[in-house]
Structure 1
Amino acid sequence: MPKLSDEAESFYISVYEMVQRVPVGHVTTYGHIARMIGAPQNSRQVGSALKYLRAGNHNEGEDGAATTLVEFNSESVPWWRVISSDGRIAFRARESMDRQGQRLQAEGIEVRGDSNNRPRIISLSDYGWFPRADDDDDDEIYESIPSANVL
């Protein structure tokens, strides 16, 4: 992970804490996470924050010192539950896309194949989690995606 300013670290922590709230068996979008943390214009930065999650459980930073971000890693933050607003797994290295599809399927989410029959497409109307930013109840889905955006 690159060295972060205090502002960037605060943003990353907000992203990680919000992603941790996405329930098993549901997905949300980069844009919705950005809106939920009060930065609606920063959906791409949400993706960047998830990209820089450490693998597994790390107890210290690269220099050996403890960091504020140690509690956040690729196992404690369910990055695989965040997808593009069109219901697709975001394009990146094939192995990472495959791993995300497999993790979603393991949670019972139906992931349909794309034109190359690779698991990439998720129905936001069936699996989407879109609570209002002003509501603290994690267990209900408050908004639905308009059918025009559902694949």
Structure 2
Amino acid sequence: MARSDEAAAFFHAVYSAVQEIPHGKVTSYGHIAKLVGTPQRPRQVGVCLKHLPSDPDARFNHTNVPWQRVINAKGVISPRSQPSGSLNQAAELEAEGVTVTTGALGELMVDLAEFGWFPRILPSEAAQGAVPDDDDDDGDDGDDDSED
């Protein structure tokens, strides 16, 4: 898929940020969007992950970008276009030690209080001396969007 320079930069930023999510932790689409400087674009984060290449020779791919660690802000593993998609994501998370439960409506869920990862800035930026903005002190991303 041909991308503009702006889109390519966004995909790169998203994939790089997702690579920083620690093993056994999850975060939301909205929090990734916030960390890459576009808090208004959580759905586009989902689009990036949906189009993550499976080709192991690609710079970013299913092997080196832990796509399974991104869920929606309510702790729900978002439904996929194929029925087994959310089950596959749940299995990947469980393999990392993340507990996945089933909600009252059959949705697959992760307890964000236990497994959530919501830093104010990316660890790579903190290591370079970046300072978080003071406009959001609660560590929550405030995103209530469900993602595909």
Q: How does 1:18-33 map to 2 (within 5 A)?
A: 18-33=17-32
Amino acid at match of 1:44: R
TM-score by length of 1: 0.78
The 1:6–1:75 alpha-carbon spacing in structure 2 relative to 1, beyond 3 Å, is same
How many Å separate the matches in 1 of 2:113 and 2:31? 14
State the SS of the aligned residue for 1:71: coil
Is residue 2:92 matched to residue 1:103? yes
TM-score by length of 2: 0.80
Residue 130 of structure 1: which of 118, 123, 146 is its match? 118
**Alignment correspondent of 2:37:** 38
Q: Which runs of 4+ in 1 moved over 4 A?
A: 142-146
Consecutive unaligned residues of structure 2, counting only runs of 5 or more, are: 128-136
Query: 1:17 aligns to what?
Result: 16
- Asked which structure has the greater RCO (Cα within 8 Å, sep 6+), the reply is 2
Superposed counterparts of 1:54-73, under 5 Å:
54-58=53-57, 70-73=58-61
Report the residue type matching 2:7 in the other structure.
A
Aligned to 1:67: none
Runs (5+) with no aligned partner, structure 1: 59-69
Q: 1:90 corresponds to which residue?
A: 78
Code of the aligned partner of 2:70: V
Q: CA deviation at 1:115?
A: 3.4
Q: Distance in 1 between matches of 2:74 and 2:9?
A: 28
Closer, same or farther: CA 56–103 of 1 in aligned 2, 3 Å? farther
8 Å CA contact 2:79–2:85 kept in 1: the answer is no
Q: CA deviation at 1:55?
A: 1.2
RMSD: 2.2
Identical aligned residues as a percent: 39
